[in-house]
Structure 1
C-alpha cells in the first residue's frame, strides 16, 4: 500500500491510500484506492483493511457461496422483467413470494441438494394443486439455470433428480373437473340470477358463453375491432388484470399467435355488443368524468371491466358449482362439442394451439350427448336383434 497526498478544489489536504492487484478475469494489473482526511497510524490500519476487503471482493470468483436461493430467484425474475407480459410477471412474482416461504430460511445456493428440493416440493404439493406445484418447480429450475449462466454456480445436476408426486385421482377431483362448464339449463339459470344482481355483468358473461373469448380478450375489444357488416370481431389483444386501466400499456398482445383470430358473432352476441356501444355513447354525453377511449365493454366511468370485480359479482350467485369468468369460455367449448362441431374448428374459434388444451375442457360427456349415445346403442341393439 502506498499513500498519495492530494489537494481538493477547496484547498483541503486529503490522503489517497492505494494498492494494486491482478484481475482474475483479464489478468491485468488494476488499482483500488480510498481517500481519507487523516494520515495517522490508526487511519493507515483502517485503510489497509478496507483496501484488502475491496480487493477480495474484486478477485473472489466464489461469491455464489454467499448468495441465497431467494436472491437468485428474485434476480432471475428481474432479468425477465420487461420481456414478459405484465400479468405473467405479476403471477410469477406472487409465485415467488409463496414458494420461498417453503424453503429453509435464507438457504444458500451452494447448500442446495436434491433432498432439500424434493422434500420441499413434496410438502408444497400437499397444499397446492399439481399444476401450481409444477410451476413452482419450473421457477426454481429456470432460476438455477440462470445462476449457472451467470457463473454463480457450476453444477445444478441435483435439480434433475427431483420428481413431482402426482395426486391420486379421486371422485371429488373428477367431479370438480366436470364442473368447469355449464349445461344449457344451468347457463340459463346463472344468467337469470346474474341479471338481478348486475345487468351488465350478466351480459358480459352471456357474450363470453356465445363467443368463447377469454375475459381479457373480450374487454380489450375496440370499435375498430368490430365489423358490423360481417358481424365479426378481430381478436388482437388482451387487457392485463393487474395495474391501472388508464395506462395504455395495459393492452397487451394476445396470449399466443393462435389467439389472433376473427370470431363470427351470432345474432344475440351482436345485439349485446351493440348494446354496449350505444350505452357508451349515452354515458359520454351525460357523464362529466368519463374516460374517452375506443374500448367497447366499459363501465360507467369509461374504463374496461375488471376481471376481479366480475369474479367478485359471480361469488354472489346461489349456485351449486364454483363459477368464474372462465366457466363461460369452457361452456362455449362444451356447447360446440355437444353440437358435434369438429375439434379443429373449435380450436380455431377459441384460440387454442394444442388439441389437448381443448380436449381437456370438452372430453366430458354432456347430458345431451349421453341421450344421443343411448339412442344409438338402442338402434344398434335393434339392428342386431333383427338379424
Structure 2
C-alpha cells in the first residue's frame, strides 16, 4: 500500500519540479541589453516609449545604468578590457573623448533605416556614434519670483551677477556642461579665446558671491522648488521637465551665445551585441521615437520626419531655424584643456 500511495506523490513532485524548472529556464533565457545613460527624468521618459517598444520587439530586458556623461565615460574606460555596456548615451564632449580612447564602434549606416531621414547635424565624424537629440544650454529663471519682485527678466549671461540676485543663483560645477558653458560664455563676452580663458575666470570670480551652490549632484531643482534659487545655468530639456511638473520656470536663450549640444548614442566596442545595438540606435532615431523623445525627454529631434505638437515644439530645439541659433563648442580644444581648467576652477572659483 505504501508503494502504491507514494507513486502519485512522486509523479506530482516531478511534474512540479519540471514546471518550476521550465519557468526558471525560460526566465533565464531572456537576454539583457545594457544601456548607460542619464537617470531620471530621462530614464523614466524613455521607459514610457522606447524601452518597452524595444523589449517587446526584440525579446530582451533593458538594464539601465544611470550616470552623468562623465560618469558613463568613466565606466566605459574602466570596462575597456571587458565591456558590460551595449550602448551608451552621452553629451557630445565626453562622447568625443570615448572615441579618442577607442571605446566606440563605428556605426554601419546600412543597418540604420532612419539615417536617410536625419539632418546633417546628427552625424558624427567617421560615423563614430550619432546624435539622436539636440539641447541648448543657457539660463533658467523663476517667472513668479521675478514678477513678484518686479525684476526684469534675464536676457544675458551677465544677468547672473546682478546685485539683487545675490545668494539666489545656481551655477553648475565645471564638470557639468552647464558650468563649462557659462565659463566659455563669460570668456567670450570678456574678449577671451578658445585657449585663453583668463577673462572668463576673472568674470567667474566676480560672479561667485552671487552663487548659492556650484551644483555637482543635481541639487538645482530642489533649490528652485524650495525658493532658495531663482536663476541659474541649465539646459532647455531640464527646464522643460521641471516646468512640466508645475514649477514656474522658463528657459532663456542668452543674447550673446546659446550653446548647442548634441546628445549622442554610441555602440560600445567589444560587445557581442553589435547587431542588436544597431537596432536600438535605429529605433531611437525613428520618427515615432523622435517625437516621443521630444515629448517625454524634451530633446529636439534630429529626424526631419518627426512632427511635434505646438506645445512640445515650444520646449525643444525644433527645425532648421532653431538649429541655426546654436553655437557648437570646439570640443577638440575643450577636451584637451578641460583637466587644466577644472583644476583652476576648483582652486580659484569654488575654493574661495
- Normalized against structure 2, the TM-score is what? 0.28
Name the structure where helix makes up a greater proportion of residues. Answer: 1
Name the structure where strand makes up a greater proportion of residues. Answer: 2
- Normalized against structure 1, the TM-score is what? 0.26
